[in-house]
Amino acid sequence: MSVSRFQAMDVIENRLVPEVNAPSANISEFFGCNVFGDEAMQAFMSEETYLSVKATVQTGQKLTREVAEKVAEAMKAWATSKGATHYTHWFQPLTGRTAEKHDSFFTLRPDGTVLEEFSAEALVQQEPDGSSFPGGGMRSTFEARGYTVWDPSSPAFVLEVGDGRTLCIPTIFTTYGGDAMDYKLPLLRSQTVLEQASIAVCKMFDENVNHVHATLGWEQEYFLIDQALFRARPDLFYAGRTLLGASSAKGQQFEDHYFGSIPERVYAYMRDLETECHKLGIPVRTRHNEVAPAQYELAPMFEEINIAIDHNQLLMDIMDRVAGRHKLAVLLAEKPFNFINGSGKHNNWSMATDTGKNLLSPGKDPMKNLQFLTFFVNVIRAVYEHADLLRASVASAGNDHRLGANEAPPAIVSVFAGEGMTRILDAVENGTAARFDDMASEMELLSKLPTMEVHNTDRNRTSPFAFTGNKFEIRMVGSSASCAAPMTVMNTIMAQQLKNFKADVDALMAGGTAKEEAIIKVLRRYIGESKAIRFEGDGYSNEWKEEAARRGLPNVPNSAQALGAYVSPKAVELFTSNGVLTDKELQAHFSVKLEKYIKDIQIEASLLREMVLTMVLPACVEYQNSLLQNIALQKEIGLDKDAYEAQLDIVEKISKHLNGAKKAIDRLHKAIHKAESAGGLHDEAIAFGLEVKPVFDEVRKHVDHLEQLMDDQQWPLPKMRELLFVR
Ligand code: ADP
Ligand code: MG
């Protein structure tokens, strides 16, 4: 039997806030202590080996076997000094979370001797049985082998779980034939093309640029509720969101939670979580209450994109573990509760050079400004060209409840440039100057705009893609999602755009146009062409939906439909020609996303049915019986109908809504059967989204009425007010 709602409340009354002990009050003293980073490498490797590893990370060239052997030796020595007994290749299958399979260093030799061992083979490549990971048909079970291959660009780390210590080695996950079965490999490939394309463009401005990398700073929103209440709700426990529940009288009306004082239990959780993050080198810095009750956020300093993504994946794992210690449950789902805000994971994205420049930071000197403007305009143009793909990259059943739900960006992709930048773009576009000299003075003028003005970009929280002074913030990503898919798309569309830009400028220059003039000309054209994607107004408004339709911008609220953009001829061409995903990989990843979408809804449907028939209905019948008994007794002593009018009314209403709920459940079943026979996977997913999902609301409507009619003492499921406010 599951924990009852009242048992849960009793348990919470007696909770103690666990003590939180950081290794030191100064984070700098223990930051990264469980990471095999520069410091550890230098301590455990020869100078020569260390430099080889660094060169590999910089250039991507392969490590020789000899060096790999030395790295493995050093890693083992370091990890065992930290108490690690096991190692694992840590990877990111298409489930969107992380996977690990531990092996011990301890080995028994044929001659009976025992020792701790870690070879170059074990470091570089492993063969976990991949048959149970989603592969979208790339690897049928008879060729079930999947390979994990070391990614030296993301440092190994020791994960502490209770008293256990495991060396985790970030890896990519592929089939025998080398096809990507994870999110990391396409991401790494997208970084490579972005780097190549960016360097070529950077060199137009500065010959000294030899490396460019994308940067990512994510902001993770989440809900935190008591574990006992969480366990008393099968929907939360198994689906991560409530499928039933009348709204709480008090919700987020006062908006008093945002940036409010952090409750003590939550504060302890945050400190504990941050300590774990810091030990693992995740540079989290910011914590605060979010808008909805029981909603919070944490954010790190930005990092190189691959590492930032690994860190976010690791974070989601640690959040769960630490919550367990505090008898709390973390909800990462995009929309755990109706009627209040959902959670997102803003992705702050930019690009940085090895000369220390943030390519999306407006500089002071005009030529540098032209470089900034070049990258800025190319981002806008890339988003304009591939808005549908960006939308597809954040598609999930969970995010369907959030996008466009009046507190999250709409499903229409648009770019917010801010007032200062809009003025600059308009000036460039309308600049009557045909020659660069005139343009240069225009640019110079622009460069004199106080930098503050650009930074002051009014925080348009309704935009899905906003310039925030020195980076773009992509707000559509769901809170439970891996950042890898949207970031892979972002890198790839930008790479393609920069290639086009370079070709356009080169063509003009070949015709005799001077470089700067050619650049301005091309940018001017791009600004004009991509104007439709720019929107500074209220993205939540209905007017915007109409306006966007007039502009011809795609608006696809349903994720299953949106996913189609992944396999459009345009996307196939983009991904394959840039070497980010092969046609086969693309089809496979597409299938995995569709399957996940369908399964998420199937699981929710089963849970909903079970909760209604086995929890709600019996409770309602019991209450109804007690009312009927009361009515019968009143009748027996000769009272007339007036006396038991209220009881009778409730009895009737309970019957009405119980029948309504049962009928809706039956309709849900029919809709599922119909969807399952829709033919192709894509059509099936769309049917689940458009025909199955809406029936959930019909069931819920009746059950939520019942909740408000029922004896509070007999209602089995923790109520919204309890979930959100009891701690
Ligand atoms: P806020 O949005 O609260 O004003 P910031 O703008 O400082 O805070 O940062 C929000 C997030 O954006 C943080 O995770 C931060 O590290 C990240 N960020 C800042 N600069 C960059 C950049 N150049 N590239 C990527 N992310 C960045
Ligand atoms: Mg922000």
Q: Is the dihedral of CA 555, 557, 561, 567 positive or negative?
A: positive
455 pLDDT above the threshold of 80: no
Give the model confidence (pLDDT) of 672-689 as tens digits.
Answer: 999 999 889 999 999 999
Residue 144 pLDDT > 60, yes or no? Answer: yes
Q: Are 427 and 447 in contact (CB under 8 A)?
A: no
Q: What is the pLDDT of residues 363-405, one digit of tens each?
A: 765 455 889 999 999 999 999 999 999 999 999 999 999 997 7
Contact predicate 389/493, CB 8 Å? yes
Residue 469 near residue 416, CB atoms below 8 Å: no
Q: How far is CA 534 from CA 414, 474, 528, 553, in A?
A: 6, 14, 11, 11
Residue 83, both tokens: 């108490």
Cα-based distances in Å from 571 to 195, 387, 460, 526 = 20, 11, 29, 20
471 lines ligand 1 (CB under 6 A): yes
Query: Global pTM?
Result: 0.94
Integer Cα distance of 209 and 200 in angstroms: 9
pLDDT at 420: 83
Count CA atoms within 13 Å of residue 84 on its CB side.
Answer: 29
Which range is least confidently modeled, 450-459, 605-614, 711-720? 450-459
Contact 396, 334 (CB under 8 A): yes
195-199, 253-257, 495-499, 664-668: the lowest-pLDDT one: 253-257
**36-40, 89-93, 423-427: which range is least confident on average?**
423-427
- pLDDT score at 3: 65
Q: What is the mean pLDDT of residues 554-570?
A: 95
For the chain, what percentages of helix, strand and coil (3-state, to nearest 5) are there?
Answer: 55, 15, 30
The answer on pLDDT for 143 being more than 80 is no
User: Cα separation of 512 and 466, whole Å?
Assistant: 37
Q: Ligand 1 pocket, 312 CB below 6 A?
A: no
What is the rounded CA–CA span in Å between residue 411 and residue 348? 18
How buried is 601 (Cβ within 10 angstroms: 0-12 exposed, 13-18 middle, 19+ buried)? buried
| Best CA proximity match to 579, nearest among 136, 148, 172, 193 | 193
What's the pLDDT at 127? 83
The mean pLDDT value for 580-589 works out to: 95
- For residue 250, the model assigns a pLDDT of 78
Q: Which amino acid residue places its CA nearest to atom 1 of ligand 1?
A: 468
Paired tokens of 363: 């500089």
Residue 349 CA: nearest ligand 1 atom is 25
The SS3 of residue 197 is: helix
Three-state secondary structure along 570-601? HHHHHHHHCCCCCHHHHHHHHHHHHHHHHHHH
Least Cα distance to 60 among 153, 150, 187, 148 occurs for 153
Cβ–ligand 1 contact at 457 (below 6 Å) = no
**Structure confidence at residue 300 as a pLDDT band (50, 70, 90):** very high
Closest by CA to 618, choosing from 720, 719, 716, is: 716
Q: Give pLDDT tens digits for 408-451.
A: 788 999 999 998 888 888 888 887 544 445 555 555 555 554 44
- Say what percent of the chain tops pLDDT 70: 94
- Does residue 537 sit in helix, strand or coil? coil
Beta strands in 77-203 (DSSP E): 86-90, 102-104, 106-108, 114-116, 125-126, 146-150, 157-161, 164-175
Least confident of 10-24, 197-211, 339-353, 547-561: 10-24
Angle at 553 between CA 552 and CA 558, to 5 degrees: 125
Q: How far is the CA of 241 from the centre of ligand 1 (A)?
A: 29
Per cent of the chain over pLDDT 90 is 77
Residues near 598 by Cβ (< 8 Å), separated by ≥ 6? 675, 681, 684, 685, 688
Confidence of residue 60 (pLDDT cuts 50, 70, 90): confident
Name the residue with higher pLDDT: 248 or 216.
216
- Cα–Cα distance measured from residue 259 to residue 250, given in angstroms and rounded to the nearest whole number: 18
- Average pLDDT estimate for 112-122: 91
Query: In this predicted structure, what is the pLDDT of residue 454?
Result: 47
Closest atom of ligand 1 to 302 CA is: 16
The C-alpha atoms of residue 581 and residue 589 are separated, in whole angstroms, by: 9
Q: How far is the CA of 282 from the centre of ligand 1 (A)?
A: 15
Residue 275 has a CB neighbour count (10 Å cut-off) of 19
CA 298 to CA 479: how far, in whole Å?
Answer: 12
In this structure, are residues 479 and 343 in contact, taking their beta carbons and an 8 Å threshold?
yes
Average pLDDT value for the chain: 91
* The predicted structure's pLDDT at residue 410: 85
Q: What are the phi and psi torsion angles at 13 (to 5°)?
A: -55, -35
Which residue from 302, 315, 452, 458 has its CB within 8 A of the most atoms of ligand 1, so it is best to mutate? 302
CA distance 583 to 591: 12
In which band, very low, low, confident or very high, does the pLDDT at 611 lie, cut at 50, 70 and 90?
very high
Instruction: Confirm or reject: Cβ of 300 under 6 Å from ligand 1.
Output: yes
- C-alpha of residue 217 to centroid of ligand 1, in Å: 6
Does 304 sit in the ligand 1 pocket, CB within 6 Å? no
pLDDT band at 132 (very low <50, low <70, confident <90, very high): confident
User: Does ligand 1 have an atom closer than 6 angstroms to the CB of 639?
Assistant: no
Say how many Å lie between the CA of residue 468 and the centre of ligand 2: 8
Residue 260 confidence class, pLDDT cut points 50, 70, 90? confident
Which residue would you say has higher pLDDT here, 127 or 716? Answer: 716
Atom of ligand 1 nearest to the CA of 348: 26
Give the residue ranges of DSSP H helices in 612-644: 617-636
